[in-house]
Protein backbone atom coordinates (compact mmCIF):
# COMPACT_ATOMS: atom_id res chain seq x y z
CA UNK A 1 0.00 0.00 0.00
CA UNK A 2 1.32 3.40 -0.93
CA UNK A 3 0.85 6.53 1.17
CA UNK A 4 -1.63 7.90 -1.38
CA UNK A 5 -3.73 4.74 -1.09
CA UNK A 6 -3.62 4.96 2.70
CA UNK A 7 -4.91 8.54 2.70
CA UNK A 8 -7.53 7.74 0.06
CA UNK A 9 -8.88 4.97 2.29
CA UNK A 10 -8.77 7.20 5.38
CA UNK A 11 -10.87 9.78 3.53
CA UNK A 12 -13.30 7.27 2.02
CA UNK A 13 -13.82 4.88 4.94
CA UNK A 14 -13.50 7.23 7.91
CA UNK A 15 -14.37 10.58 6.37
CA UNK A 16 -11.84 13.22 5.38
CA UNK A 17 -11.93 15.44 8.47
CA UNK A 18 -12.71 12.76 11.06
CA UNK A 19 -10.25 10.26 9.59
CA UNK A 20 -7.38 12.70 9.59
CA UNK A 21 -8.04 13.64 13.21
CA UNK A 22 -8.04 9.95 14.12
CA UNK A 23 -4.71 9.38 12.34
CA UNK A 24 -3.11 12.33 14.13
CA UNK A 25 -4.64 11.89 17.61
CA UNK A 26 -5.73 8.29 18.28
CA UNK A 27 -3.07 6.23 20.06
CA UNK A 28 -2.92 2.68 18.74
CA UNK A 29 -1.83 -0.12 21.05
CA UNK A 30 -0.83 -2.30 18.09
CA UNK A 31 1.69 0.39 17.13
CA UNK A 32 3.29 0.78 20.54
CA UNK A 33 0.80 3.40 21.74
CA UNK A 34 1.80 5.74 18.91
CA UNK A 35 -0.62 7.63 16.71
CA UNK A 36 -0.90 6.60 13.09
CA UNK A 37 0.87 9.81 12.07
CA UNK A 38 3.77 9.10 14.44
CA UNK A 39 4.07 5.53 13.17
CA UNK A 40 4.09 6.67 9.54
CA UNK A 41 6.72 9.32 10.34
CA UNK A 42 8.84 6.61 11.99
CA UNK A 43 8.74 4.37 8.93
CA UNK A 44 5.92 1.93 9.73
CA UNK A 45 4.34 0.74 6.50
CA UNK A 46 1.02 2.40 5.66
CA UNK A 47 -0.76 -0.95 5.45
CA UNK A 48 0.28 -1.82 9.01
CA UNK A 49 -1.01 1.55 10.20
CA UNK A 50 -4.25 1.03 8.27
CA UNK A 51 -4.82 -2.42 9.79
CA UNK A 52 -4.09 -1.11 13.30
CA UNK A 53 -6.43 1.84 12.83
CA UNK A 54 -9.23 -0.38 11.48
CA UNK A 55 -8.72 -2.91 14.28
CA UNK A 56 -8.89 -0.20 16.94
CA UNK A 57 -12.06 1.24 15.43
CA UNK A 58 -13.66 -2.18 14.78
CA UNK A 59 -14.04 -1.43 11.08
CA UNK A 60 -15.42 -4.64 9.53
CA UNK A 61 -13.36 -6.33 6.81
CA UNK A 62 -16.14 -5.65 4.32
CA UNK A 63 -15.71 -1.87 4.76
CA UNK A 64 -11.93 -1.61 5.12
CA UNK A 65 -11.23 -1.30 1.42
CA UNK A 66 -13.85 1.26 0.48
CA UNK A 67 -16.45 0.97 -2.22
CA UNK A 68 -14.10 -0.18 -4.99
CA UNK A 69 -14.50 -3.96 -4.99
CA UNK A 70 -11.53 -4.25 -7.39
CA UNK A 71 -9.16 -2.61 -4.92
CA UNK A 72 -6.88 -5.32 -3.60
CA UNK A 73 -6.73 -5.61 0.15
CA UNK A 74 -3.09 -5.58 1.22
CA UNK A 75 -2.42 -8.55 3.47
CA UNK A 76 -1.10 -8.18 6.96
CA UNK A 77 2.58 -8.81 7.48
CA UNK A 78 3.34 -12.09 9.14
CA UNK A 79 4.56 -11.43 12.63
CA UNK A 80 7.52 -13.49 13.57
* Whether the Cβ atoms of residue 3 and residue 48 lie closer than 8 Å to each other: no
Q: Is 28 exposed, middle or buried (0-12, 13-18, 19+ CB in 10 A)?
A: buried
Cα gap 69→19, rounded to integer Å: 21
Task: Tell me the mean pLDDT in the region 56-71.
Answer: 84
Band (29; pLDDT cuts 50, 70, 90)? very high
Which among 67, 61, 76 is positioned nearest to 30, based on CA atoms?
76
Residues across the chain: 80
pTM, whole model, 2 decimals?
0.85
So what's the pLDDT on residue 61?
85
Band (75; pLDDT cuts 50, 70, 90)? low
What is the radius of gyration, based on Cα positions, of the chain?
12
So what's the pLDDT on residue 28?
97
Band (64; pLDDT cuts 50, 70, 90)? confident
Amino acid sequence: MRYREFWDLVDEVLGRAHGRVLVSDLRLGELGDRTGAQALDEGVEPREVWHALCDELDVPESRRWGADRRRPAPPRRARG
